[in-house]
Amino acid sequence: MASLFTNASAQTALKTLTAASKSLASTQTRVATGYRINTAEDNAAYWSIATTLRSDVNALGAVKDALGLGAATVDTVYTGISDTKDLLDQVKSKLVAASQSGVPKAQVQAEITQLQNRLKDTSKSTVINSESWLTQDTSVAGYTSQKDVVGSFTRAAGVVTIENITIDITKTKLYENSTSAQDAVTASLDSATATTARGVYAKAMDDIKAVTNATNAAWNNSLKKTYNPATTTSIAGVATPAAGRTSFGAAATTGTDFGTAVTAISTALTEAQLNTALGLGPTADFGGAGGAGSKFLSSLSADDKTALLNELNANATALKTTLTDINNGAVGDAVGAERVAAATAALATYDAAVAESVNKYVGVAARDAFVTKTAENAIATYSASAKGDVNNQQLGIFDKVRSVISDNNGGNAKAVRVSDIDISNLSDTGFDKAVLSSYISAVDDALQELTLSASIVGAAKARIEGNKTFVQNLVDANNRGIGQLVDADLNEESTKLKALQVQEQLAVQALGIANSSTQSILSLFQ
């Protein structure tokens, strides 16, 4: 049935055209934007995920930029440390060359001074973003020894986390600019109270002087005194000969402990007027007042103490036997001149034997060994205390105290730092060679620490570079994820676009045909 008011064909054609136009518009939008899901209404879930991923990608981009800045900073620090290590190697080479006899120390020092200046210049010049990790000042407000570089961005269970790469820049410090830290180290080194390292060192040096002030002749003369473990006023129980008689007040006995022997030796030293210099009185033993002489005697090893006591006891036993034979076992009898002479000779032999035994263990050679060991221990203790001082640990690799050396007479001590090594006044004496050796050891110690610093910075640099690569890979992965969620397949969309364009054109033609049917009805009335 033909109707003027209802054109079913036109309605169908119009719906088809509307649908084709809508599909064409959607396809054109996907082609134009490249997105299959462009707004939340396209697919709320996927759009939400993609939007979050895009936000994370932007955050990761910021992380990558921060890593780039951190990498530049660490690379600059590494370059500075590497250059200073090369310079310090040259300083070590100069010192080793100067250790050869005949090398002019002043000329070598001129080169070393220039290298020391270059070390400072390199350290001060190694600056990026107004920060120096080599020359630091801990007294500046806001100073922190921990530097953070943004390392990663993560989102887990809805919680966002920023991870940092932390670098301890105390490991890279070459110089400390804070005068308060320097002054604290100087004050600690110079403090000479009894409980400080300097005080202990000074006491040890006093002990050495007390012992060495006793001349070799006086020391040896003190050992001529005789030894009797029973008494310190007679010789093996034999009183002083008088009126042609030798009175045997007591039989010779053997010592039962080394303390008694020390008392006798102490008496000998006292009679030789060495007790004041040595701080060793006539009753001093190993638990005495701590004078230099007492420390010297107590420094003997357990084996030496036992051996000396055995020898002294053997000497006393031999004297007892000889005197008993001379007197035929009687005590207090009047004797003739020949017995007095024999007893006197026996006593002389005994004196010589005792002197030989004592000299073997506490003579000049033993004394000198004690002096050397005491000096070495004093310097080692002082150096260890100086190096371990909390203030010294705040200083840099080149200005911290590495060791302590004494002057030629042992009266003063000097801190050894790489920054102020000076060999210009050294000669080829044994003492000065030892000083030069201490300088070389200090530089080598600093080189080891500098190498560790380079390793720490190098490891941080590698970690930052690795994180940069990972962050970039993560950005790429997130972008791929976003693409899989919301990107349009342009090959498919372009094919659809052509088909929809044809469909739209056909719908237009169909609508035109449907609308032309009313013209046929009009012709019926003509």
With tokens 């030629």, the residue in question is: 408
Show the tokens assigned to 486.
């919301």
pLDDT of residue 64: 86
Regarding whether 297 and 347 lie in a shared domain, the answer is: yes
Of the residues 350, 377, 404, the one at which a domain ends: 377
Q: Please check whether residue 20 lies inside any domain of the structure.
A: no
89-98, 280-289, 301-310, 376-385: range with highest mean pLDDT: 89-98
DSSP 431-446: HHHHHHHHHHHHHHHH
Regarding whether 373 and 224 lie in a shared domain, the answer is: yes
Show the tokens assigned to 342.
């024999």
Q: What is the pLDDT of residues 14-66, one digit of tens each?
A: 787 777 777 777 777 777 777 777 788 878 888 888 888 888 888 888 888 88
Of the residues 311, 343, 377, the one at which a domain ends: 377
Of the residues 351, 377, 403, the one at which a domain ends: 377
Among 132-141, 214-223, 282-291, which stretch is predicted with the lowest mean pLDDT?
282-291
Q: What is the pLDDT of residues 467-511, one digit of tens each?
A: 888 888 988 988 888 888 877 666 776 777 777 777 778 777 777
Regarding whether 372 and 240 lie in a shared domain, the answer is: yes
133: domain CATH number is 1.20.1330.10
Q: Please check whether residue 35 lies inside any domain of the structure.
A: no
The C-alpha atoms of residue 57 and residue 44 are separated, in whole angstroms, by: 20
Q: Please check whether residue 189 lies inside any domain of the structure.
A: no
pLDDT band, residue 256 (cuts 50/70/90): very low
130-144, 261-275, 318-332, 370-384: range with highest mean pLDDT: 130-144
User: How many whole angstroms from its chain centre is CA 111?
Assistant: 28
Q: Please check whether residue 7 lies inside any domain of the structure.
A: no
Regarding whether 255 and 148 lie in a shared domain, the answer is: no
φ and ψ at residue 403, rounded to 5 degrees: -165, 180
pLDDT of residue 332: 47
φ and ψ at residue 74, rounded to 5 degrees: -65, -40
Regarding whether 161 and 205 lie in a shared domain, the answer is: no
pLDDT of residue 239: 33
Regarding whether 455 and 368 lie in a shared domain, the answer is: no
Regarding whether 330 and 236 lie in a shared domain, the answer is: yes
Residues forming a β-bridge with 154: 161
The C-alpha atoms of residue 218 and residue 269 are separated, in whole angstroms, by: 9
Residue 148 pLDDT exceeds 60? yes
Q: What is the pLDDT of residues 408-463, one digit of tens each?
A: 655 567 788 899 899 998 888 888 888 899 899 999 999 999 999 999 999 888 88
Domain count, the chain: 2
The C-alpha atoms of residue 526 and residue 521 are separated, in whole angstroms, by: 10
| Contact between 187 and 193 (Cβ < 8 Å) | no
Regarding whether 94 and 206 lie in a shared domain, the answer is: no
Closest C-alpha among 79, 87, 82 to residue 119: 87
- In sequence order, the 6+-apart residues with CB closer than 8 A to the CB of 336 are 244
Q: Please check whether residue 264 lies inside any domain of the structure.
A: yes
Closest C-alpha among 357, 368, 231 to residue 304: 357
Mean pLDDT of the chain: 74
| Contact between 272 and 218 (Cβ < 8 Å) | yes
Q: Which domain holds residue 353?
A: 199-377
Beta strands in 288-335 (DSSP E): none
pLDDT of residue 450: 94
With tokens 């002489």, the residue in question is: 293
pLDDT of residue 132: 87
pLDDT greater at residue 350 or residue 46 = 46
Q: Please check whether residue 89 lies inside any domain of the structure.
A: yes
DSSP 1-15: ---SS--HHHHHHHH
The C-alpha atoms of residue 269 and residue 406 are separated, in whole angstroms, by: 29
The C-alpha atoms of residue 25 and residue 31 are separated, in whole angstroms, by: 10
Regarding whether 131 and 67 lie in a shared domain, the answer is: yes
Flag whether the pTM goes above 0.75: no
Q: Please check whether residue 415 lies inside any domain of the structure.
A: no
Neighbours of 489 (CB within 10 A): 11
Which run of H or E residues covers position 186?
helix 179-190
Which run of H or E residues covers position 205?
helix 197-212
pLDDT band, residue 91 (cuts 50/70/90): very high
Regarding whether 203 and 153 lie in a shared domain, the answer is: no
Regarding whether 318 and 203 lie in a shared domain, the answer is: yes
The C-alpha atoms of residue 482 and residue 50 are separated, in whole angstroms, by: 5
Residue 246 pLDDT exceeds 50? no
The C-alpha atoms of residue 526 and residue 505 are separated, in whole angstroms, by: 33
Q: Please check whether residue 1 lies inside any domain of the structure.
A: no
Q: What is the pLDDT of residues 169-215, one digit of tens each?
A: 889 999 988 888 788 777 777 665 656 677 777 777 776 666 665 55
Neighbours of 69 (CB within 10 A): 14
Regarding whether 300 and 170 lie in a shared domain, the answer is: no
Share of the chain above pLDDT 70, in %: 71
pLDDT greater at residue 362 or residue 87 = 87
